Amino acid sequence: MANTDTLKNSVINEIKKKIRLIILIASFVVVTLFGIIFVDLYEKVFPFLDFFSELPIAVIITFTLILSFLGLYLSVTISRRMIRIMQEYSLRLDRLLNITKDLSKEMHGDILLEKIMDYALSITHSDAGSLLLVENGNDLVFKILRGEHASQLQGTSIKTGEGLTGWAAEKCLPIRIDDVSKDDRFSPEYDAVTGYEIRSIMCIPLQVKGNVIGVLVLLNKKGGYPYRQRDEAIITYLADQAAISILKTKFGEDQKNYEIHVTEILLEAIDSQISNKKGHSKRVARYCNIMGKALNIAEDAQRRLYFASLLHDIGFLKIHHSDIYNKEELRRHPVVGYEMIKPVNFYADIAPYLLHHHERYDGYGYPSQLKGEEIPLAARIISIAEAFDAMTSATSYKIPISFEDALVELKNNAGTQFDPDIVKIFVENITPKHARQSAVWH
């Protein structure tokens, strides 16, 4: 909010200057006209005005008209500039709003940093730039670079307080310099590495609540123009929004990593509980992933399907290994699994899929006897993938059947046990190659 106010104030100050100039021009014209009228009325009272009375009336009228038209022309010109400034300001705000929305939606950290850099270059018409993030306490590491030979700096770092970039990070203040050669803080060693000559520079800290997490650096505004106050204001706003998005994305990625590690631990526990079904969950997940892509489901839904398929048998962890093949205990595992993961925030949205993955399309499944599309789509997909793997994989209580026979079995039960449309998708997209790959998916 503070930086949008700074941008707004810079535009308002520029408009105020134009308004003052218009007032000055109008005042000059009015004063001049009053002067001419004064001369005409009081030339006999003030003898020193005789000179003006000797001027032909045509000259005076011509001068007055020229002065009026000149004032009008200057006023119109300045007014147009004011309108253009306001239009540019409006367009910049609209663009910033769209950029902010785009950055806030980006979930992948590497893509987010690329977008921040490219947006900053585009907005300021800069020739080159870089985005550095703070690592290891006080190191600024080059993450994104743009410009000739810039890639040579990828992954290298500078210390906080070192050079102009380090100074901006240390002081948590923006820097805008037209000629870096005249600034003692400038360190030319990076020019030597890349062979790129830096003339003008703008360094904007990426900060959240006063904590600097990086620096956005822009170099050499195109056309040889200097960076202006408006450039600084708009990039400072962008940098603040970018910093928030970076932290949010990092948190999301950390949570995903945590989710993946926890899931792996649970999978190992499941495989240990039922050793003869080792790898079953990962094979089911592989089939579900293929079907999810074939069904063109959204990325977030695909993620939920993947984790639900991995954990669909987690309920067995609370069933004693000697009771696993007891029919009553076997039928309990969807409810047990549901109750286990529902309280966990990052698993809560997949809990219903675990609960209903043994429902039947005809309504005779368990535990809720849901029918048809009452059953969540992910649960219908998992049901087919699990049945296929159970039929084609060796277990202690049955002999596996062939790939082709398993497909026939799925078709025979389409419309009763399984969703017929998803069976069709499965048959069309799962090949013997997928089955062989899944057989070694451990």
Strand order in the sheet with 157-159: 157-159, 139-146, 126-135, 211-221, 201-208, 175-177
Which of these ranges, 84-98, 220-234, 294-308, 407-421, has the smallest mean pLDDT?
84-98
Give 338's pLDDT tier (boundaries 50, 70, 90): very high
What is the average pLDDT score of the chain?
Answer: 83
What pLDDT, on a 0 to 100 scale, did the predictor assign at position 194?
63
Does residue 215 register a pLDDT over 50? Answer: yes
* Alpha carbon distance, N-terminus to C-terminus of the chain: 51
Does residue 130 register a pLDDT over 60? Answer: yes
What is the model's pTM?
Answer: 0.54
Does residue 21 register a pLDDT over 70? Answer: no
Is 108-251's fold the same as 274-439's? no
Enumerate the domain spans of the chain.
Answer: 2-104, 108-251, 274-439
To the question of domain 274-439 being in CATH 3.40.630.10, the answer is no
Give 346's pLDDT tier (boundaries 50, 70, 90): confident
Does residue 110 register a pLDDT over 70? Answer: yes
Which of these ranges, 1-10, 27-36, 235-244, 344-353, has the smallest mean pLDDT?
1-10
Write out pLDDT tens, residues 393-417. 876 557 888 999 999 999 999 999 9
Of 30-44, 308-322, 403-417, which has the strongest mean pLDDT? 403-417
Give 265's pLDDT tier (boundaries 50, 70, 90): confident
Give 292's pLDDT tier (boundaries 50, 70, 90): very high
Which residues are within 8 A (CB) of 230 and not within 5 positions of it... i.e. 6 or more apart? 7, 10, 11
Does residue 296 register a pLDDT over 50? Answer: yes
Does residue 41 register a pLDDT over 80? Answer: no
User: Class for domain 108-251, per CATH?
Assistant: alpha beta
Does residue 193 register a pLDDT over 80? Answer: no
